[in-house]
Structure 1
Amino acid sequence: MGDTADGSSNAAQGALQDDTRHHRPGFFSRIFGTRNPRDLEQVTLSDAAPHASGTAPVSAPGMVNLRRMRVEDVMIPKSEIVSAPVDILKDELVEQFRESGLSRLPVFDGTLDSPIGLVHLKDLALNHGFNGKPGNKSTRFVLRKLIRPLLFVPPSMPIGVLLQKMQTERIHMALVIDEYGGVDGLVTIEDLIEQVIGEIEDEHDLEEGALWVEEKPGCYLLEAKTPLDEFEAATGVRLQHDQADDDEIETLGGLVFVLCGQVPARGEVIAHPGGAEIEVVDADPRRIKRLRVRIPSKSDG
């Protein structure tokens, strides 16, 4: 069944072997077959400074990344994976989806190093109701019945190979397995495509052209690229603090990077010296994407 540590290890060993089996050509394989590889090299590296923008220097989006980048370059590290145990209760799983904002979660038996598949939010909703409303009352919640397969891949696999594998097998999530069969990270098809076409915005992102929105008094949802001086001027919120490198901090993401000394994990909350709290709403291993700033009211003391 593959629901034990040995099972996941065997799956990992299979993934670590040569993965060049013949599949029906898909979109990306057709591109590889018709494009001159030298044509893909016309890509420059980003020279953005981490302290100024909240991003580490990374390759600009482009087809060349499919050959040049490895799975380990784009994966979400194990410590940041949002997952669910196979014996989780329905209400707890619903809350897990709600808090994370994700549509797919890996499922494990015992520990994350014993993965057994993934659960899709759509399957949960269709079988057990939408928006917390009961579904088929005769259907008892058993997570194992909702589990879909996921892929197991080595960290050294080129992302182009994984993207083609996801396309042919129609599986959009992969766990990265280390040499001992343990889970090292997670990759989705969106993570791979973003390396080619740039960041993909969804319905949960801010409206086009908007850099921030006030969700409620004293609470702002912002893009990490929001210019710090513009946000301060428009809201009257002071986030600059007395440091020698203040002039080099241009964005909210850059400010958070300076406060942390690194790119923080999604969900991390950073305490600002002035009393504000800055929550990392969305980030990947290389850059901060969205933030939530909470300003304490005067009544909070």
Structure 2
Amino acid sequence: MSDHPPSRPHRSDRHGGAPIGRPRDPRSLFVRLIEFLSPGPDSTAELIKTLADAEHRDLIEPESRVMLEGVIRMAGMTAGDVMVAFKRMDLLDIDAPYEELLRTVIDTAHSRFPVFEGSRDNIIGILLAKDLLKLQRAPELNLRTLLRPAMFVPESKGLNELLREFRTNRSHLAIVIDEFGQTAGLITIEDVLEEIVGEIEDEFDDEEEESGIFTLADGSQRVAGDVEIAAVNEAFGTQLPDDDFDTIGGLVAHELGRVPRRGEQVNLGGLRFMVMLARGGAVRWFKVTRALPADEAGLA
């Protein structure tokens, strides 16, 4: 007979859960997974490098790596990093006639609009585009009764926390306020999610290249929307006007009358600008080629 009595099972063995007296691991499953793949990363850059190595070893799929990188990068970002700047916000005037409101909704194709009264900085609520249609069937309705409460957040609000608030409040749009209490811009839940599933620091970004103009494999050029017009003229030997606008994105949007959408093409100054990526109310990247002589200027 054994001199040692049989050990008693932990209470957790009988009832499930963590053993009594053994502290739970406070780390998330994601953190423990990363440490399992490559223990002890000391920085975000090293952590991202570890994910790339895991993809190369076929431990994770490329799509999973992109999303995990998005989560990591998003943890250090704020609403001010992603917001649409105040000057580029599409707003509705509470006192504007119905026809003007409807025209703005159709032209911009947004689903939600901040509504102001008096000054553009005085935002009094959010209007859903579908709610505006109710005025067409019942003109006696007061537009104010259709407004949803506006959600206000500071520029310093972290995207992780903001995403939780969007989910908790069932909101899709927030007005971003600067340190002086003035409207700095707006941010949507789609903007936040794009930082996870979209391109954060995508393959178009190259820290070693600061011109914002890159040559592609097919001989065309990739041009950032915030590249100065003077730089475009120098690179392509064109004479695009730069008196009223500084960036090529601003000039193209002005010529078109709105921000072009992904896949759309604009011919300007002998060049064809095809939108590769648009985000936050602005074009991030164009693919630029020489326009054919038979092409007419304008939207293609």
TM-score, normalised by the number of residues in structure 2:
0.55
Match of 1:121 in 2: 129
**Counterparts of 2:78 and 2:93, CA distance in 1:** 29
Report the Cα offset of residue 183 of structure 1.
0.5
- Highest RCO, 1 vs 2 (Cα 8 Å, sep ≥ 6): 1
**Counterparts of 2:83 and 2:154, CA distance in 1:** 11
Residues 288 and 175 from structure 1, CA distance in 2 versus in 1: closer, same or farther, beyond 3 angstroms? same
Choose from 59, 82, 90 the match for 2:98.
90
**Counterparts of 1:252 and 1:60, CA distance in 2:** 30
Q: Matched residue of 1:161: which SS?
A: helix
Report the Cα offset of residue 74 of structure 1.
0.5
Whether the aligned pair in 2 keeps the contact of 1:282 and 1:290 (CA below 8 Å) is no
Q: Tell whether 2:190 aligns with 1:190.
A: yes
Q: Matched residue of 1:267: which SS?
A: helix
Residues 140 and 279 from structure 1, CA distance in 2 versus in 1: closer, same or farther, beyond 3 angstroms? farther
Residues 39 and 110 from structure 1, CA distance in 2 versus in 1: closer, same or farther, beyond 3 angstroms? farther
Residues 283 and 268 from structure 1, CA distance in 2 versus in 1: closer, same or farther, beyond 3 angstroms? farther
Match of 2:269 in 1: 273
**Counterparts of 2:68 and 2:223, CA distance in 1:** 19
Counterparts in 2 of 1:1-301, with a 5 A limit? 34-37=28-31, 41=44, 42-43=47-48, 62-125=70-133, 127-128=134-135, 134-136=136-138, 139-198=139-198, 248-250=214-216, 253-254=222-223, 258=227, 260=229, 262=247, 264-265=249-250, 267-269=253-255, 272-274=268-270, 282-284=278-280, 288=284
Report the Cα offset of residue 160 of structure 1.
0.6
Q: Matched residue of 1:68: which SS?
A: coil
Q: List per-residue Cα deviations over 1:178-229 (Å, max 9, x = no partner).
A: 1221101110000001111116xxxxxxxxxxxxxxxxxxxxxxxxx9xxxx
Residues 141 and 73 from structure 1, CA distance in 2 versus in 1: closer, same or farther, beyond 3 angstroms? same
When the two chains are superposed, the root-mean-square deviation of aligned CA atoms in Å is 4.1
Residues 108 and 298 from structure 1, CA distance in 2 versus in 1: closer, same or farther, beyond 3 angstroms? closer
**Counterparts of 1:146 and 1:259, CA distance in 2:** 42
**Counterparts of 2:295 and 2:281, CA distance in 1:** 36
Report the Cα offset of residue 275 of structure 1.
7.0
Whether the aligned pair in 2 keeps the contact of 1:280 and 1:292 (CA below 8 Å) is no
Q: Matched residue of 2:71: which SS?
A: coil
| Structure 1: unaligned runs, 5 residues or longer | 1-31, 45-58, 129-133, 200-224, 226-244
Whether the aligned pair in 2 keeps the contact of 1:84 and 1:93 (CA below 8 Å) is yes
Whether the aligned pair in 2 keeps the contact of 1:166 and 1:172 (CA below 8 Å) is yes
Larger radius of gyration: 2
Whether the aligned pair in 2 keeps the contact of 1:70 and 1:156 (CA below 8 Å) is yes
Q: Matched residue of 1:254: which SS?
A: strand
Whether the aligned pair in 1 keeps the contact of 2:177 and 2:183 (CA below 8 Å) is yes
Whether the aligned pair in 2 keeps the contact of 1:61 and 1:194 (CA below 8 Å) is no
Whether the aligned pair in 2 keeps the contact of 1:173 and 1:188 (CA below 8 Å) is yes
**Identity percentage of aligned residues:** 26
| Structure 2: unaligned runs, 5 residues or longer | 1-25, 35-43, 50-66, 205-210, 232-246, 256-265
**Counterparts of 1:298 and 1:173, CA distance in 2:** 40
Residues 66 and 256 from structure 1, CA distance in 2 versus in 1: closer, same or farther, beyond 3 angstroms? closer
Q: Matched residue of 1:156: which SS?
A: coil
Residues 94 and 157 from structure 1, CA distance in 2 versus in 1: closer, same or farther, beyond 3 angstroms? same
**Counterparts of 1:259 and 1:112, CA distance in 2:** 28
**Counterparts of 2:131 and 2:288, CA distance in 1:** 30
Q: Matched residue of 1:64: which SS?
A: helix
Whether the aligned pair in 2 keeps the contact of 1:61 and 1:195 (CA below 8 Å) is no
**Counterparts of 1:296 and 1:100, CA distance in 2:** 31
